[in-house]
Amino acid sequence: MAESKKTTAKLRCIGCGATPDSAGQDFRCATCGDLLEFFFPGWLSESPDPAALKSLWLNRRTSYDVLDQSGVWRFRELLPHIPEEHAITLREGNTPLYRLPGCARAIGVENLRAKHQGMNPTASFKDTGMTIAASSARQGEFRWVACASTGNTSASMAAYAARGNMLSLVLIPEGQISWGKLSQSLDYGALTCQLRTDFDGCVRILNDLVRLKPVYLLNSVNPYRIEGQKTAAIELLEQLRWEPPDHIIVPGGNLGNSSAIGKALLEMHELKLISRLPKLSIIQAQGANPFYRSVREFGGKKLESMTADTLATAIRIGNPASWKKALRALQATGGEVEEVSEVEIATSKAEIGADGIGCEPASAVTLAGLKKLRRSGFVKPGDAVVLILTGHILKDPDFTIKFHRGDLFDGTTDPASAAETKSLQRAPVVLDADLGAVIAALDTAERSSERSL
Ligand code: F0G
């Protein structure tokens, strides 16, 4: 398979512009403390030929080479170079792009699709960043890797550490992550510490720990994570035959993913792989909305941290690390921010499910946000829209079962809104083992489906 030249990547501080040769253990600028990012100086003088890159990447889809089979490493010309012998891959990426016809009809947009990042090896989008960042840990000969997590980063990190013969330390908030995610990090052999705090408290402890112990930080402040996660957008554009959609909509938690997708869009535009920029919009849960408030109340000038609370536990984050990177992506692409309620999230999740696509609650904020953006006129009926679904439905079956049984909003202060979800609930029917009883249930279901047509 033809290879193009190795990419030269350099680090740069997003705050003061310093360009250190290497990053410290906390991946923050030694001068001003802001986040670091990769940039590619060679692109300014000798941009790669866009048509040649597109055909190189497409050809790799028929290759049996392990790196070519990864939907991340396949795009390695746009990533920092890591020698092949250090690469840890589970054949991540290569995720499907689905149409959502039922949701599209209900909302009044003609062209609605979902890129399902939950179809990655550990069932969330984190794998695309983790394959690159875990490989960089192996290249640096680290014995321990670590992260603070709401459950998906930890599941992904534990898997890639195990594949790369490294030990992993997970810090998660006790009682605030789903069992599905916790079970993954246990099975993949991580040292899993449930701390009596929230996600933001776990981050604080980990930041102190990496200064004292030789552990490699794998949260999304690690710029290798962002680089790997860029490939979701590159692969999306390839799937759209390089015809950009009008809107891409992502959930916002710690804001690494929106930063990565935004960075990819800007780089693809700079490299003339795409001719115009899609608008990148970021949606948060109302109870965990520090970025939404930063943009709407303070024009992005500052971010006030908060104590976050939402049933979408993946995005229960009150002090997002990458908010400045995400802000830049939002502004450069002309996107919007929105916040959505718990009922709106649960409703949207069931509506995506009714199109035959399962996702976890945090992913469903995208559809809930789209409805608001459609109502405000920011999204037009003829616009092409892509939702990024970040996690698989089986990550959090508890949420789904409670929703369908009608107990998700027990004790709510707003029972009227919760009641609006009733028509979407499909509670299991418990019957005697009797043919007549099953036929009666079938007939009842048939009559109610006729009524809803
Ligand atoms: N969706 C899911 C399913 C997530 O797990 C996360 C973040 C997000 C959306 C938000 O992405 O943080 O890049 O803005 N989960 C992290 C974790 C924080 O630890 O698993 P983000």
DSSP letters spanning 246-279: SEEEEE-SSSHHHHHHHHHHHHHHHTTSSSSPPE
What are the residues whose beta carbons fall under 8 Å from the beta carbon of 395, sequence distance 6 or more? 118, 123, 124, 151, 152, 178, 180, 181, 314, 360
For residue 48, the model assigns a pLDDT of 83
pLDDT tens readout for residues 33-54: 999 999 999 887 777 899 999 9
For residue 448, the model assigns a pLDDT of 86
Dig out the tokens for 127 from the structure.
Answer: 């794998």
Name the nearest CA neighbour of 115 among 96, 93, 94: 96
**Distance (Å, whole) CA 375 – CA 249:** 15
**Distance (Å, whole) CA 111 – CA 129:** 28
Q: Is the CB of 290 under 6 A from ligand 1?
A: no
pLDDT tens readout for residues 57-95: 999 999 999 999 999 999 999 999 999 999 999 999 999
**What ligand 1 atom has the least distance to the C-alpha of 257?**
13
For residue 451, the model assigns a pLDDT of 72
Residue 152 Cα to ligand 1 midpoint, Å, equals: 7
Q: What is the pTM of this model?
A: 0.97
Strands of 215-217's sheet in order across = 191-195, 167-173, 144-148, 215-217
Q: Is the CB of 180 under 6 A from ligand 1?
A: no
Alpha-carbon distances of 379 from 149, 196, 280, 291, 371, rounded to whole Å: 33, 42, 12, 21, 9
Q: Is the CB of 255 under 6 A from ligand 1?
A: yes
Q: Is the CB of 254 under 6 A from ligand 1?
A: yes
User: Ligand 1, atom 4: nearest CA belongs to which residue?
Assistant: 314
Could you tell me what percent of the chain has a pLDDT over 90? 95
Name the stretches of the chain with pLDDT < 70. 1-5, 452-453
Q: Is the CB of 315 under 6 A from ligand 1?
A: yes
Residue 321 Cα to ligand 1 midpoint, Å, equals: 12
Pocket test for ligand 1, best of 95, 117, 119, 124 (most atoms within 8 A of CB): 124
- What does the DSSP 8-state code read for residue 219? S
Q: Is the CB of 253 under 6 A from ligand 1?
A: yes
Dig out the tokens for 236 from the structure.
Answer: 């999306």
**What ligand 1 atom has the least distance to the C-alpha of 124?**
3
For residue 4, the model assigns a pLDDT of 53
- What does the DSSP 8-state code read for residue 108? T
Partnered with residue 94 across adjacent β-strands are none
- Write down the number of H helices and E strands in the chain: 18, 12
Q: Please, what is the end-to-end C-alpha distance for the chain in angstroms?
A: 52
Residue 151 Cα to ligand 1 midpoint, Å, equals: 8
**Distance (Å, whole) CA 175 – CA 316:** 12
Q: Is the CB of 156 under 6 A from ligand 1?
A: no
Dig out the tokens for 133 from the structure.
Answer: 């960042």
User: Ligand 1, atom 6: nearest CA belongs to which residue?
Assistant: 314
Q: Is the CB of 361 under 6 A from ligand 1?
A: no
User: Ligand 1, atom 19: nearest CA belongs to which residue?
Assistant: 149
Pocket test for ligand 1, best of 315, 317, 392, 394 (most atoms within 8 A of CB): 315
Question: Residue 364: helix, strand or coil by DSSP?
Answer: helix
